[in-house]
Amino acid sequence: MGLAIASMVLGILGLVLSLVLIGAVLGVAALIFGILHLRKKDAPAAMAGVGAGLGALALVASAGFGVFYYKIYQEYLGFMDGGFASFDAASWEGVTAPEMKVETLDGEILALGDLRGRRVVLNFWATWCPPCVREIPHFVELSEEAPADELVIVGISDENRSVIKKFAERHGVSYPLGNPVGEPLPPPFGNVVALPTTFFIDRNGLIQSVREGYLNAAEIRELAMADDFEGEPREAPRPPVSELEDAETVYQPVERWSRTYDVAAMEGGDWNGDGRGNLLLAAADRRLRVLDGEGEELEQIRLPGHFSLLGLGRNGEEVRLLGHTNWGHQVVAMDGAGQRLWRYRSGSGVNGAHWGDLTGDGRDELIAGMNGGGGLHAVSPDGERLWRATHIGNVWNQAVIPATGGQPARIFATEAGGSVRVFDAEGTELRALRPLGQYSSQLAAGRMDANGRVQIIAQGDATVAFDETGEVAWHTPAQRDHGAWRGRTFALGDLTGDGVNEWVFRDIDGTLAVVNPDGGRVASLTVAGDIEQFTVVPAPEAGGLLAVFAAGQVRAFALEPAKEP
């Protein structure tokens, strides 16, 4: 009888503790004791049978949790390195480091060229990156031991300066930390996709070595204090070039107007539902400015918070706004007066949110992608969760094709594994795509013409456009940026007035490219200063406006056919 009781007790404990995997051991014991008891002749079988059954369930549950934890761990690794393939670091060893400037936390500008004669360590990192944080004490120790006229360590992050400053104070960072000056950064610094990445530069300004990932104290010391590179400097690897070809008709951007604003977020759309395009600007003062196509301010609306990303949707005849900040913990839905209607919260953080009519009833639902293992969520116009797909874990970007004209809604999402997942309106996954076999993070999708042609555009090593079956229409090398998925990578709209939408994105050559669905470059735009944000202001039949925010100015451009030379 003792074996039966032991089997029952161990089976119950095993099932309970399967959550922490030790239940597998207890489950095996329960199964063994139960079988031993059942092999006895004339022994009561009920209790031992239940115990053995619970033991078997504990084994199955522990195995299931083990698979689940392993998947989360893999997603965590993908998240930590930004999910991108490494750039060819070795090809830069022995190459003269290009000029780069960093503005430190105290406002000093450090120019790499001014540090010749000293060894230099450039560490690209972020406060949210655990391997980066683990390295910090090693850099602090080395910076305090090595004479300042022999070694300079500089930590480089694209995060807000206040965030970096708080981190530095809390962790006692004694070497310079700061933001890079100027965008885009020259290669190889602009090629950094995994964090941390550390460049070790010798006293002659040559890149001695490049290391991606965590380094221990001994490795950092050895690489930082290594002898200067021997031999003649090597030539820098040739950068990739755009593979886009000019469209049959090429246009030139012509500036229509400009305005001075402190822009935190911008979005184009039809604010009043009258078919006229508007530009929405969320400013640092928590006010939303609504501009018409001529750049005239129509109204100001007080927002219930600071948002770095906006969305414009409809609820029947009424306008709907959504606002959130990447990695924030909520999406806020607002009416046309800026009044908060409801909030959708996420403990793991929000990676993106979009309006989209899933049912074709004229009321937009919310689609949101979550950080960590949060997955993809669909929320009703009234703020109630409709469904969620958590099996895909971390969601980088997402896009919604609304239901219209007899065509069903489609939802697309990139996840920690780098694939593009396709869902229907009910949250059923239809397929997983991996165009060109690449790891994709940034994503957008839209209907391209009156025939309802759907095209998805994703970015990893390449910018690639494809349909919902994965058939590729065109592709071109991409500017890789480990943090680009946090903001707007693509805009879509009819900029030429021909009834066909064009994509807008940063091409490998640094320009803002306007590209038709067949991959033809319609136009290119370059402006003074880094283009921090861009969007399309729709203008049916006339051709929309391309609005950009750069150097403190919002500038709107129309496309006009280029004149023959």
> What pLDDT digit, counting tens, does each position of 465-507 carry?
999 999 999 999 987 655 555 668 999 999 999 999 999 999 9
**Per-residue model confidence as pLDDT tens digits over 52-101:** 777 688 777 777 666 555 444 444 444 444 444 456 778 899 999 999 99
Helix (H, G, I), strand (E, B) or coil at 105: coil
What φ, ψ does residue 258 adopt, rounded to 5°? Answer: -145, 150
Instruction: Find the helix or strand (DSSP H, E) in which 156 lies.
Output: strand 151-156
Instruction: Residue 169: count other Cβ atoms within 10 Å of its Cβ.
Output: 10
Per DSSP, the three-state class of 14 is: helix
* Cα separation, 152 vs 135, whole angstroms: 16
Q: What is the CATH number of domain 328-486?
A: 2.120.10.30
Phi-psi region of 208 (alpha: psi -120 to 50; beta: other; left: phi over 0): alpha
201 or 129, greater pLDDT:
201
CA distance 564 to 546: 23
- pLDDT above 90: percentage of residues in the chain: 65
pLDDT digits 0-9 by tens, 293-318: 999 999 999 999 999 999 999 999 99
Q: Which pLDDT does position 347 carry in this prediction?
A: 86
d(CA 417, CA 84): 10
The mean per-residue pLDDT over the stretch 455-469 comes to 94
> What value does the mean pLDDT take over residues 21-46?
71
pTM: 0.71
Considering only residues 39 and 358, tell me which one the structure prediction assigns the higher pLDDT: 358
Length of the chain: 565
Contact 415, 393 (CB under 8 A): yes
Per the CATH hierarchy, to which homologous superfamily does domain 89-224 belong?
Glutaredoxin (3.40.30.10)
**Residues near 455 by beta carbon (within 8 Å), at least 6 away in sequence:** 445, 446, 448, 465, 466, 467, 473, 517
pLDDT band at 399 (very low <50, low <70, confident <90, very high): very high
